[in-house]
Structure 1
Amino acid sequence: MLTSFAFIFIAGLFFSRIFQKLKLPGLIGMILAGILIGPNLGNLLDKTILDIAPVLRQFALVIILTRAGLSLDVTSLKKVGRPALLMCFLPASFEIAGTILLAPMLLGVTRKEAAIIGAVIAAVSPAVIVPRMIQLIEDGYGTKKSIPQLILAGASVDDVFVIVVFTAFIALEQKSSVSATQFSAIPVSILLGIAGGIMVAILLGILFDQCSLTSIQKLLVVLSASFLMIELENQLKGRVPVSGLIAIMSIGLAFYQKKPELAKELSEKYNGLWTAGEILLFVLVGAAVDLQYVKTAGVMAIILVIGALVFRMAGVFCCMAGTELDKKERLFCMMAYTPKATVQAAIGTVPLSLGLKCGNTVLTAAILAILITAPFGAICIDRSCKKLLEKA
């Protein structure tokens, strides 16, 4: 197993560096590395690594959401108001609806299977968006109208919204029925997740004030609390709807609002931890790709991803209606809200692992969504921010 980890980190870092030199997201290189060393080509990974891959992907998701919370200033969103709320769910809803409309025609799947595909490809990527929005905030681009904060907040909650909807669609496919209660539980789970995260943050703040802990020790405590929030969600499933992922983000959010120095300290450590988490996440996703199936469904799946992206951008445009943003700023928001990577990597293999008929189709769509939208979104943000946004 240790040899497999060596292959993952060395190959991931090497190919990531190559793609960064080409001015493309390094995560594309990591996925390519996973394909090359995975069971379909090089077969260099121990089976045990592949068996625990879902746990490693969830670990990466925890890091992503905590980083987002530690960087998000809610008070700066007050002047944005309604668009900030709409960005959390409307673009994703548009994209899921577009996928349900297009996927049966393009891929020959059922409406329920199309809904699962839509839920997987609908989430934007914190791995691409979060560091870029943080950089824009530091450089002052768009901050006068809180545009980076708007996108940062929307992307973080958008992911959780999509994951909860994805869970409901999986239940629908497995049980052949789903009640209205499951969907009404979505806002309840979000609210309880926020409340639970804030409560945990208060308790951890008291602990850190009373005990003299190093930065690494604080990191381990927060990580442990995050894992326990996920386990709490699993234990309460079917009885009390609560989103462990929202709770995790809320912990970081509460630290940022009430203990900014602690948030900054933890953020630096989480950034270092993400260096390893990112490689594990994307290399293992690449290792799960079935190249033969991608070759068979590729063209239609590409058309589906592009079509769904048009629906997403239309959703972002609707969110901006009635705001003071000008045409350039709205165009930036539409482009900046397109990158896919993290959530697709984290949940794209779930239907396949559950033995669902649409498993390979979902994974193929997820991989193609990453390969198409991550470079597109990253390049659009990097190349257009200075032209489309005003510097404060």
Structure 2
Amino acid sequence: MLFSLALIFILGILLGEIFKKLKLPNLIGMLLTGIILGPYALNLIDNSILSISADLRKIALIIILTRAGLSLNIEDLKKVGRPAILMCFIPACFEMLGMIILAPKFLGISMLDAAIMGAVVGAVSPAVIIPKMLKLMKENYGTKKSIPQLILAGASVDDIFVIVIFTILTGLAQGETITASSFLQIPISILTGALVGIITGLVLVKLFRKTHLRDSLKTIIILGIAFILVTIEDSFTTIIPFSGLLAIMALAITIQKKHLVLANRLSSKFSKLWVGAEILLFVLVGATVNLKYAFAAGFSAIILVFGVLLFRLLGVFLCLLKTHLNMKERLFCMIAYMPKATVQAAIGGIPLAMGLSSGEIILTVAVLSILITAPLGALGIDLTYKKLLTKD
């Protein structure tokens, strides 16, 4: 296990720096590290790590979501208004619609299987987008019009919407019935997650004001509570819909709102944690990539991924109509909303494990969406933000 971790970190850093020297996103090097070391290539990652890979990826996601919440000014988000809400579900809906239209023609699957495939690939990757938007906020690009904040907010809620839709559709594929209450899970998950996060954040602010603790201990306490919130989501989701990840972000935003000085210090701590968590996240995402599936998919699956991506870009563009953003800024938002990675890695294999007839091709398209959109979106952000956004 220790040897595997050494390979993950050392090779991940090495390939990441090589790609950075080539003016490409370092996450491409990390994804490539996972593919090389993973079970479908050299098989050098210990099974004990692979067995807890999903949990390790979730820890990394918790770290970056907390850091985002500590940096996200809710007043800036209020200025954005309607587009921030629309970005939470419209682009994903358009991508799912594109999959329903195109997948039966390209892959010969049923409309229900196409809808499930659309739900798998429809989620944007907060793990790719959030660090990029935090960098823009730090460098003051697009902040006057709250562009990074808009994308941050949309990416954080988008995943909840898509995962609930995915759960409903897979249930339908297994013969379960869909009721109105199934769709009510989406707003209930958002409301309960936000409410629990705000209350927890207020309690923590009061505790930290009254009790003298080092910032390192406060960071550990917040991480511990975040782990509990995610556990609650996993354990009680059948009783009441609840989004643990949204609760974590709401908790961090509340600390930022009520204790800005502390939030800035804690954000610095989480930034340091992210250095290692980022490597672990993207290497382990890369390790889920089955190259055999990717190569077997053929040209049709690749065209399909690009085809539904066009539907997604159209959805983003419609969200931004009648806003104060100019065409360059709208183009940047479309580029920034492309990357896929974490959700696809987490749920891409579920239809296959459930025994669905199209499970293998769904997993294949999920893998291809990671390989194509994660580097393309990250590279697009890095190459265009200085040209398309105004530095404030």
Q: One fold, TM greater than 0.5? A: yes
Deviation at 1:191, TM superposition (A): 0.5
User: Matches of 1:350 and 1:68 in 2, distance apart?
Assistant: 29
1:172 aligns with 2:163: no
After TM superposition, the structure 1 = structure 2 runs for residues 130-169 of structure 1, keeping only pairs within 5 Å, are 130-169=130-169
Q: 1:108 to 1:53 in 2, by over 3 A?
A: farther
Amino acid at match of 2:209: D
Q: Which residue of 1 aligns with 2:104?
A: 104
What is the aligned-residue identity percentage? Answer: 55
- Provide the residue aligned with 1:121 in structure 2: 121
Give the whole-Å Cα distance in 1 for the aligned partners of 2:66 and 2:134: 14
Contact residue 201 and residue 254 of structure 1 kept, 8 A: yes
Letter in 2 for 1:84: A
1:28 aligned residue: 28
Return 5+ residue gaps in structure 2 as ranges.
none
Q: TM-score, normalised by structure 1?
A: 0.93
Q: Map 1:1-392; keep pairs closer than 5 Å.
A: 1-354=1-354, 356-392=356-392
Shift, 1:247, TM fit: 0.7
CA contact (8 A) 1:68 1:156 kept: no
Q: Indicate if the aligned counterparts of 2:19 and 2:26 stay in contact, CA closer than 8 A.
A: yes
* Partners of 1:37 and 1:65 in 2: CA distance: 27
Q: CA deviation at 1:357?
A: 4.5
Contact 1:281 / 1:345 at 8 angstroms: preserved in 2? no
How many angstroms does 1:312 deviate by?
A: 0.7
- Which blocks of at least 5 consecutive residues in structure 1 are unaligned? none
CA-based RMSD of the aligned residues comes to 2.1
Structure 1 range deviating more: 369-378 or 172-181: 172-181
Asked if structure 1 preserves the Cα contact closer than 8 Å seen for 2:285 and 2:341, the reply is no
The one-letter amino acid of 2:343's match is V
Q: CA deviation at 1:76?
A: 1.0
CA distance 1:301–1:209, change in 2 (3 Å): same
Structure 1 residues 121-156: Cα deviation after superposition (integer angstroms, max 9, x where no partner): 222222332222223223332222222221222122
SS at match of 2:164: helix
Q: Could you tell me the TM-score, scaled by structure 2's length?
A: 0.93
Q: Distance in 2 between matches of 1:27 and 1:382?
A: 12
CA–CA distance in 1 between the matches of 2:189 and 2:168?
Answer: 13
Assess, with a 3 A threshold, how the Cα gap between structure 1 residues 253 and 102 changes in structure 2: closer, same or farther.
Answer: same
> Matched residue of 1:13: which SS?
helix
- Alpha-carbon deviations, 1:92-139, whole Å to 9, x = none? 111122112222222333333322322222222223322222232233
Deviates more, 1:83-92 or 1:1-10: 1-10
Quick check: 1:288–1:349 contact (8 Å CA) kept in 2?
Answer: no
Measure, in 2, the Cα distance between the counterparts of 1:94 and 1:187: 19
CA deviation string 1:154-187 (max 9, x = no partner): 1222223223333333333345433221111210
Which residue identity does 2:267 align to in structure 1?
A: S
- CA distance, structure 2, for counterparts of residue 355 and residue 27 of structure 1: 32
The 8 Å contact of residues 12 and 33 in structure 1, kept in 2 or not, is answered as yes
Higher mean displacement: 20-29 or 87-96: 20-29
Cα drift, residue 318 of structure 1:
0.6
| Residues 12 and 348 of structure 1: CA distance in aligned 2, closer, same or farther (over 3 Å) | farther
Matched residues in 1 for 2:368 and 2:257: separation? 37
Is this contact kept in 1: 2:164–2:185, CA < 8 A? no
Cα gap change, 1:127 to 1:239, in 2 (>3 Å)? closer
Cα displacement string for residues 319-374 of structure 1 (whole angstroms, at most 9, x for unaligned residues): 11111222222222212221222333343344445555444433332332222222
